[in-house]
Each structure stands twice: as structure tokens, then as C-alpha cells.
Structure 1
Amino acid sequence: MAFHLRFNFDVPPVFQGYFLDSLPAVFIFYSVCFYVFGLYRGLWRFASLPDLKRIVRAIAFGALLMVSFALLAHPSIIIPRSVLFIHPMLLVIMMGGSRFLYRSWKERRLFNNVAAQGKPVIVIGVEDSSLNLIKELSKSPEWRVVAMIDPSKKLVGREIMHTKVEGGLEDIPQIAERYGSLHCMIAMPGSRHEKRRAAVEAARQVEGMEVLTLPAMSDLISGRISLSQIRKIDVEDLLGRDVVQLDTHGLSQMLAYKVVLVSGAAGSIGSELCRQILSFHPTQLICLDISEYALYTLQQEFSQLVTDTELVYLVADVKNQARIQRILAEHHPDVVLHAGAYKHVPMMEHFNVVEALQNNAYGTYQMASACQQVGVPTFVLVSTDKAVNPTNVMGASKRLAELICQGLQHGAKQSVTRFITVRFGNVLGSSGSVIPKFREQIAQGGPITITHPDITRYFMSIPEAAQLVLQAATMGNGGEVFVLDMGTPVKIVDLARDMITLSGLQAQDIQIAFTGLRPGEKLYEELLADDENTLPTSHEKLRIARARSADHDWLQALLSWLQQTPTMSDAQIKKDLQRWVEEYQPDPRPAPEVFTRGSALTLGTLPSPSQQIH
């Protein structure tokens, strides 16, 4: 074809001979190039831009060989220079075009007729993920994309992949009625959570509309969207938060090729810390927990991973001084993250007061002081917002843990250990949180039990909490109490109503019962005490609390008192706690009575019928 174009479809006989003489070299050179560049391995049905790039590279390399052959190897064979340029261009057009035409024909034949019978669906969002989603949906017999929604309205009226952008969020009811669609998919993983929530709220205005979504960017491992990643909208999406921007260079310097120990490693936060740490390739990760079964579960999960990190699983009690010292002396960790604690407020408030103090406060001292003795460079205490103006023993015990770390930091004349405290609120889906409990109650038909109609809490996802804990560890100089940006507090009753509607039910289908505040529970949690203020840091989601500190003498007196608590009554311990934690205001309600019926032991009092159903 190149010869014909060069000579206006009238090739002189002499050049016909040159053409035939050069044809074997053309077959050999290009066949070798096509094989080397992998053109024979691809499937035409899935041809895409990477295949076109391979075609261009293979043809360009083959053309260079042909030029070299024509000019150097056989100068007696005359090939017009224009043919040497026309020939590779024709090859690119014919090879690329044939693949494109075949893929178009195949997809139209296999998918379009079937997809036309699928359920009409509206796609909300105009991002790269939206385009990938439409490609996937066009191949599915279950779905048929009928319209797109642009929340910004900038592309209204335009067409994307033969799908028209019909309007903005407020137009969803009319568009859904026009196409008879009761399904919409939110494809906005790169947008802020406020925009995603607005899209969900707009879609939920349509009665019977089922809202599906793609995972947030932090959950997407690959850039390619697949139908398996589409799921129903969940309460975590409504409470979702923006993607955390991490100082990966600083985290890599702190964790890569280092030995890291996580206490409470099998818990919600501890296990996520381990997952995040593994991505930075430490030499050794020591997972320490008091629960044998929980640690076994973590081991089974990590056994499925391919990692170059040595994983060590240790069952140990942080209160066991000899055991902790021996572990630290044997492994010499560079970073210790102390996430082990008793955290269930009502459980620790009565009958378990001593254990709360021994584990949360005295256990922190044993771990932190042992780290200081062996010279661990970085110790991070995972604290809680319940340590601020605590009204319960759990919060007071965690505030003591914070003060213990500060006392060790300021009391030692020469300490190589940086003691850093990170304080945050509730995490979504953690063990003991309300969301799994509400799901179970909805599945049982209700009622959903809430302690008070006005109770509010801060919420954060487990991965975000773990990421910010690690980020704070790279920034602290020692003695700081970092406070995480927890966003806007959420009313628990609103959370329950959202979960009811997201389950496909109406608000009146599931009753909400108010049972009264539990022992030690507050209506709202604070992140800063009344006499504290904060200083900004280089990270927008981290601030430093200027909290009351402790010195060496105070710490020694506290330790003497903690050693005496096992012989003291709960009432006496709570009274003394007000001396050690000045901001502690204990719950004035008495402990529930303990009474027996037959052989059964029952703790607590039952709410009255009026309290059960409000």
C-alpha cells in the first residue's frame, strides 16, 4: 500500500522488483519486533491505550531496522524514502484501527443489547471514577446508566461516553421520575465528605431510592473501579471524613527498617496501627496483647499477607514488670505504641475500678518506664477524649496515664525517650462502639437503645485515627499531648435514625428507647479541658494541647498510691482520684445494687417502662 500511494497506484516495474526483494526483510524485522514488544499476547477484545503505545513502539523500532537495512545492508535494493515514512504510519492506523473496530463490535454485540434490559441507574459525580464506573456498568446485564448528575453543574448538558449530564443534585427527583430509576450510584471518592453527604441526602429525597456508592479514596487500592467495589451507602459514608494527608517521608524515616512494638495490638486501634505500620516495611513488628484469642485472630489475618517484615506475637500483661522489661531488652524496639487499655466506661465505673487504674495508669507506667530504662527512642500513648474533665474512672485513669508520661519526660535529667500522647474520640466500628450494636438491634426489629436524646459524640474512622497517631509520633519532641481534629460532634439519636433509613426502613418502623445515662457517662465529650488551649502544628488535623503537666515528685507519690489501690474500696479510690486528677468530677449516682435470685447473680437496675420507650 505504501508503494502504491507513493506512485499514485501505478508502480513502475523496476520498483515492483524492489518491493518483492525487500518483502522478506519486512516480514522478518516486524515479526521479531511485534513478538518482542508483546503484541501477540494481547486480546483484541480488551485493546486499550497501553496496547496502542506498544504498537507504536514496536512499529517505530521496526521502521528503524528497515531504514538501516535499506541504507546499509542492501544498497542495491532501492526503497523510496517516502515509502519508509508512509509504511509505518499505515501500520499504526491499520493495526490500531482494526483492534478498535473489533473491540467496539464485540462490546456492542455482547453487552449493549443485554444492558438495555438492565435496571436504570443514575450516576452522581463527574470524576475519573465515574467514567470507569460507566464502562463497567455498560458490560453488566444488571444495570443500565440513564443519566449523570454533576453536583457543580459545570457540565450540565454535555455528554460523557454517550451518557448525558442531566442536571444537579436538586434535579434528581425529576430525573429519576423521567427514567423510572430507583437506583443511583455515587461515584465521588475524590470529593470532600460534605459533598458526598449532600449527594446522599439529595438521593434519599426520592422515595424508594436505593443509594449505592464507591469506596472513598483511602479505601481504593487500585485506580480501576470494578462492580465488586460498589456497595450500599452506609452510616460511615455519612459520617465520613476527608482523606488524611500524611508525611510519608517522615513516617518512613521513623518506621522503615526499624523494630516497632504495639501493645494492645489485637484491639481495634492496635490492629489498625499494625496494618498501617506494615506498609512502611519495618524490620520487625512486635504485636503484644493480653488476649490470646484476639492475638491469634490477628496472626491468622497477617499470615495471608506477603511482607518482608518479621512478625512477632507476644501474649503479655503490661502490668507484669519483669515480663515487659525482658521483652524490651530482647527486642530493643525503636518505637513503642501503647494502645492497650480498658476502655468500656460503665464496665470500669463500678466493681472494676481497681483494674481500670492498674491497667490504664499503672500498666502505662510499667511500659513507659521500661522503655525509658532501655532507651527506646519513641513512646506513643494512645489516649482518649474521655480524659478531658473526666466524670468516670476510665477517663480519670487515662488522664493519669497522660500525666505519668509527662512526669517521666520532665522528671528524668537525661532521657533519650520521647513520650508523646495522642488524644481522640470514638472510632467508627471499633469494638464496643454503638454502630455494630445499632445494626444488630435493627436486624432484630428494634428497639434501638440510646441512653439520652441529647447525647453527642465525636466520630473518626479507625484508619484515620491510626494514621494520625503515627503522624503525631513523627512530630513530637517529647511531653506533648496531641489533639486530633475530630470534626463536628454527632447526635447519637440522629445517627440511629440515619441507620434505620439506610437499612431500607422508615423511621416509624424501628422504635428508639431512651434508657438513661449509664454510670460515668457524659452527654458530650470534650477534647480540651477547661484550663487548656491549643497550639497549631504543621499538620491541619493535629494540634498540641497546653495541658497541666507533672513532675518527678508528683509521679513518685502517685505510684505509691497506685500500689495501695488493690486494698482500697471503690468509694475511697474515687475520692482520692479527685486529688490526683483535679478536673475529675465523679458521677454522684451510687453503684447499682448486687442482688441474687436463686443461683443467678444480677448486676445493675432495670429502667422503668417509661424510660424504656420514650
Structure 2
Amino acid sequence: MNPLSKYQPPTVWLRLDHFLARLRPYREPLSLLVDGLLIAFAWNVTYLFRIGFDRWFDARPWYDIWVMLGIVATYLALFALLRVPQSMWRFSGFGEVKRLTWACLGAGIACAAVVMGLQLYGVPRSVLALHPLVTLMSVCMVRIAYRTLYEHSRAQITGGDKEVRRAVILGAGQAAKRLMAGLHQQGWIVMGMLDNDPAKQGARISGVPVLGPLEAVGDRAVLGAATHLIIALPGSTARQRRRAFELASASGLPVLTVPSADELRQGDPDLARGVRDIEPEDLLGREPVKLDEQGIDQVLHGKTVLITGAGGSIGSELCRQVARYKPSKLVLVELSEFNLYTIEQDLSHRFPQLELVRLIGDVKDLVQIQRIFDNWKPQVVFHAAAYKHVPLMEEHNSWAALRNNTLGTHNAALAAARVGAERFVLIS
């Protein structure tokens, strides 16, 4: 037996992960508090560099504490204006550093102008000039330290109970960069990337080399000790994705893919959580259908929407798509407790402002279904509670399939008509 199969992450990392998870609901006020302390810390450190430790306290004017508090308030106001507290430290990167640079530069100029305008000559001009730089270094270092600690704890928790997984990524664009950040947390080792852009070949992106074009995936010397291939081309055409899959499949390694472009537009930054096996929809021989977004929004926005079979393979994805259009309430009806819990957790993470109603229900029970519809009075109903695996149900389960699919649809339609639902959509 593989000794890694019995691996248990150290308790300290589990406790740290739970502690960080409890802090996330208070991310914005905590971010402002920590940044405020760092700005004040940087002010004192700048004085220390300027006048030395011996005169660090005595040489400062009596009003310096008030100047420091005013500077902290100015910085925090500009941070809030630029939405710095809304960023997630565990995903800090170049974009966050750029935003912090502009915030510190703007606040530093504003503070220097006010101090000189008030003729507060006791404050050294060199302190005013250096303070934004020291502040920027401080806030960036804390964010980098937090991200490093978070990624290490996640790798300790999720990466130790599996075989070491080494991946080569097909694609070297923005999606690949975002993917690599999450893969490390899950214990993956990214050995390299492949991309057809000549300008990227031979370069290093986030420290990972671009080994060559996509066609090099068939060269074992290029793949080395890789155990998986991951296609990270969400914005490419169906033809390009199919070509990449054909090349990757010829290597004999397991082939995975990142979520689709539609899923990426929902804004979930952790692509690694969505890495999955190739599905037929990923290889369509046509371009994706363009949805009438405005028309769908008019139907769903601000409405009470009920979905039966909400935790199933189709129902769960339907829930995610409906949630994008901001219904006032999303009622989830599901027979399986586990499936209901799974989709509820996913939706709560993706759409924290959405009001969810989680109900265990059987569409074959007319009384129960009518009670649910009477209580929540849905305006739009999507009926997805059906057995869909035809070969499986045909063999020995035909009566169960017939009863669930026909009687369940009949009951859901009756209940929708009873409460005057505006729309009833039968999925299957």
C-alpha cells in the first residue's frame, strides 16, 4: 500500500486553515485595520531611517502624532476609493501591487501637499518623500507573506494525500497564469507550458518555462516526468480546443481541462478547483450558441425561481447559470441531501448575496410539491428532476424511471399552474 494514502495533514495547518476561513467574512474591515497599522508602522520606520534610533522620539515635533493619524486616514480613504480592501490577499499578484502603488503614490502626494501647505516645518521633507515607498513595501510584503502561508497550508492539507502530480499546461495565456496559482495549493507541480505563440516560446511565465508549441506534446523528452496534461485554452475556438485534445490524447497521459469561458466570466479566480475531465461539450464542432442575455435577464432578474433536481448533473449547472441573473430568491428542490448540500455550498461561495431556499423534496409526492409551491410561490420554474441515464434505467429500472419522469413532471406542472407561475420550463 502506498504510504501516502494514509497521510494526515499536521493539526497546526488544519487549525490555521480553519482560522483563516473564519476571518474571511470580515475581510474588508480587517484589511483596513491591518493596512492602517502598517501605514503607521511605516511612518515610524521612516523617521528611524531619517534621524536614527537615538533621536527617533525626541527630535519629532509635538504634533507629529496628529500628522501621522491624518496620514493614516488619508491613505485608508484612498485605499477604500480604489477598492483595495475588497481584494483577496490569497490571490494577490501584479494587479494588486499596481493598485497599491497608485494608492500609495496618490496618498503620499496629497499628504505632502497638506503638510507643506500648513507649514509644518517640524516634519522632515525626506520623511514625506520616503514614507509612501516604505508603506508600499510594507503592505506588499504582508500580502505576499499571507499568500505564501495560505498556499503552503492548503498544499499541506490537500496535497499530501495523493500521489505527486506533475502537469504540463497547454496554453500560456492569462487562464494558464491563474491556473498555476491554484494548482500549487492542491499539491501539483507545474513542469512547463506549451503554446503556439512564438513570442512566448523559451520564455518563463510566473517562473514556469514555455517548452515549445502545442505539437511538442507528443515528444516524451519535452513532457519528461509529467503525469497529467491540462488544457488551459478557454477562449479558443472549438476547432482549436479539439486539435489540442487530439494532440494531448496521443501522448497517452490523462488529459484535463479548465472551466469554459462562460464559467470564467463568473469571476471565480481559483481555476484549479474547476479542473476536470474532458466532456463532449468541450469538443463541439460548432461555435457556442450566443445567448440573448438581455432577454434572459428580463425573465429571471428579481424573480423567485424554483429548480427541481437542483443538485443533479444538469440541475446544478442550471442553478449556477440562473444565479448569474440575480433572481430575488432561488428555491432549490432536491431529493438527495448530499447533492443539495453540495450545490448550496457552491452557490454560497460563488454568489454570497443570493438568497437561497434549500428544500428536500420528492416530485412524485404531489402533496409535498404543492406545499412547497404554495409556500414560496415561484414565478419561474425549471423542472430538471428526472432520470436521464437511459441505458441504466432501461435494463432493470424502467418502472422507476417512468414513474419519476412522468408523474414527477405532472405534479410539478400542476403545482406551478396552481400558484400562477409565469413560466414552466421542462428540461428533460
Please indicate, yes or no, whether the TM-score normalized by the shorter chain is above 0.5.
yes
2-side partners of 1:95 and 1:122: how far apart? 38
Say whether the 8 Å CA contact 1:124–1:188 is kept in structure 2: yes
Per-residue Cα deviation, 1:364-412 (whole angstroms, up to 9, x for no partner): 56654664565432122224xxxxxxxxxxxxxxxxxxxxxxxxxxxxx
Per-residue Cα deviation, 1:462-481 (whole angstroms, up to 9, x for no partner): xxxxxxxxxxxxxxxxxxxx
State the Cα distance separating 1:165 from its structure 2 match: 3.9
SS in 2 for 1:191: coil
Residue among 217, 227, 237 paired with 1:172: 217
1-side partners of 2:412 and 2:115: how far apart? 75
Q: Is it true that 1:201 corresponds to 2:246 in the alignment? A: yes
Cα 1:339–1:160, aligned 2, differ >3 Å: closer, same or farther? Answer: closer
SS in 1 for 2:427: strand
Per-residue Cα deviation, 1:13-48 (whole angstroms, up to 9, x for no partner): xxxxxxx99877677535653476469x999xx785
Q: Is it true that 1:33 corresponds to 2:71 in the alignment? A: yes
Match of 1:182? Answer: 226
State the Cα distance separating 1:203 from its structure 2 match: 3.1
Per-residue Cα deviation, 1:449-471 (whole angstroms, up to 9, x for no partner): xxxxxxxxxxxxxxxxxxxxxxx
Per-residue Cα deviation, 1:121-171 (whole angstroms, up to 9, x for no partner): 5432121122344567789996364x5322354644555456554432223
Letter in 2 for 1:126: A
Query: What does 1:64-463 correspond to in 2, within 5 Å?
Result: 64-73=110-119, 77=121, 90-92=130-132, 96=136, 122-133=168-179, 143=189, 145=191, 147-153=192-198, 155-156=200-201, 158=203, 160-161=205-206, 165-174=210-219, 176-177=220-221, 180-183=224-227, 184-206=229-251, 209=253, 211-219=255-263, 222=267, 224-225=269-270, 233-235=277-279, 239=283, 246-265=291-310, 267-287=312-332, 294-301=335-342, 304=345, 305=348, 307-317=354-364, 320=366, 331-341=376-386, 345=390, 347=393, 356=402, 364=409, 368=413, 371-372=416-417, 375-383=420-428
Larger radius of gyration: 1
Cα 1:27–1:237, aligned 2, differ >3 Å: closer, same or farther? Answer: farther
Letter in 2 for 1:378: R
TM-score by length of 1: 0.41
Instruction: Say what the alpha-carbon RMSD is for the aligned residues.
Output: 5.3
Say whether the 8 Å CA contact 2:194–2:214 is kept in structure 1: yes
2-side partners of 1:226 and 1:354: how far apart? 38
Per-residue Cα deviation, 1:44-82 (whole angstroms, up to 9, x for no partner): xx78553454354345334434433433455xx599xxx
What is the total number of aligned residue pairs between the two structures? Answer: 335
Letter in 1 for 2:226: L
SS in 1 for 2:305: strand
Cα 1:120–1:286, aligned 2, differ >3 Å: closer, same or farther? Answer: closer
Instruction: Show structure 1 runs of 5+ residues with no match.
Output: 1-19, 112-117, 384-614
State the Cα distance separating 1:334 from its structure 2 match: 1.4
1-side partners of 2:223 and 2:397: how far apart? 61
Per-residue Cα deviation, 1:248-299 (whole angstroms, up to 9, x for no partner): 544343234433333455654345434544554544545557xxxx344444
1-side partners of 2:307 and 2:182: how far apart? 41
SS in 2 for 1:189: coil
Match of 2:100? Answer: 54
**What is the aligned-residue identity percentage?**
26
1-side partners of 2:336 and 2:397: how far apart? 27
TM-score by length of 2: 0.55
Per-residue Cα deviation, 1:293-337 (whole angstroms, up to 9, x for no partner): x3444444466446523444444437x5x7766765565431222
Letter in 1 for 2:224: G
Letter in 2 for 1:143: I
Cα 1:152–1:341, aligned 2, differ >3 Å: closer, same or farther? Answer: same
2-side partners of 1:29 and 1:89: how far apart? 15
2-side partners of 1:343 and 1:136: how far apart? 33
2-side partners of 1:266 and 1:163: how far apart? 38
Per-residue Cα deviation, 1:334-372 (whole angstroms, up to 9, x for no partner): 12223345656565699968984x765676566546645
Say whether the 8 Å CA contact 2:195–2:212 is kept in structure 1: yes
Higher helix share: 2
Letter in 2 for 1:253: Q
SS in 1 for 2:221: helix
Say whether the 8 Å CA contact 1:278–1:309 is kept in structure 2: no
2-side partners of 1:167 and 1:286: how far apart? 49
2-side partners of 1:331 and 1:362: how far apart? 22
Letter in 1 for 2:364: D
Letter in 2 for 1:273: L
1-side partners of 2:200 and 2:337: how far apart? 52
2-side partners of 1:373 and 1:352: how far apart? 30
Cα 1:21–1:66, aligned 2, differ >3 Å: closer, same or farther? Answer: farther
Letter in 1 for 2:303: K
SS in 2 for 1:151: coil
Letter in 2 for 1:309: L
Cα 1:78–1:325, aligned 2, differ >3 Å: closer, same or farther? Answer: closer
Query: What does 1:510-529 correspond to in 2, within 5 Å?
Result: none
Say whether the 8 Å CA contact 2:316–2:343 is kept in structure 1: no
Instruction: Show structure 2 runs of 5+ residues with no match.
Output: 1-57, 80-84, 153-163
Cα 1:28–1:62, aligned 2, differ >3 Å: closer, same or farther? Answer: farther
Cα 1:134–1:277, aligned 2, differ >3 Å: closer, same or farther? Answer: closer
